[in-house]
Amino acid sequence: TKGKRSALPNSRIMIHQPSGGAQGQAAEIEIAAKEILNLRELTNNILAKHSGQPIEKVARDVERDFFMSAEEAKNYGLVDKIFVSK
């Protein structure tokens, strides 16, 4: 929920595209491939919506594992607050 997304100062946040393995007959592999592509589009749209980043940037960033510090995740729009000790 926006406004309630927190991280600790030394947190590492990673975004990535969905992954999976398919086996079996060609038709089953095709079904699984279509599903994972649909899931990638859905998750990219969710990340873009909730981070405020353009969908094109999100799509590029999730092509490989994309790691961020807590501060980088805050700047990206995935984290609202970084907890600090008193």
Give me the residue spans of the domains in the chain: 6-82
59 burial type by CB count under 10 A (0-12 exposed, 13-18 middle, 19+ buried): middle
Contact 73, 14 (CB under 8 A): no
Task: Convert the pLDDT of each residue in 50-62 to its tens digit.
Answer: 999 999 999 999 9
At 78 the pLDDT is: 98
Q: pLDDT for 17-44, tens place per residue?
A: 999 888 999 999 999 999 999 999 999 9
Q: How confident is the model at residue 1 (pLDDT cuts 50, 70, 90)?
A: confident
**Residues 38, 15 contacting (CB under 8 angstroms):** no
pTM check: above 0.75: yes
CATH architecture of 6-82: Alpha-Beta Complex (3.90)
The pLDDT, as a whole number, for residue 51 is 98
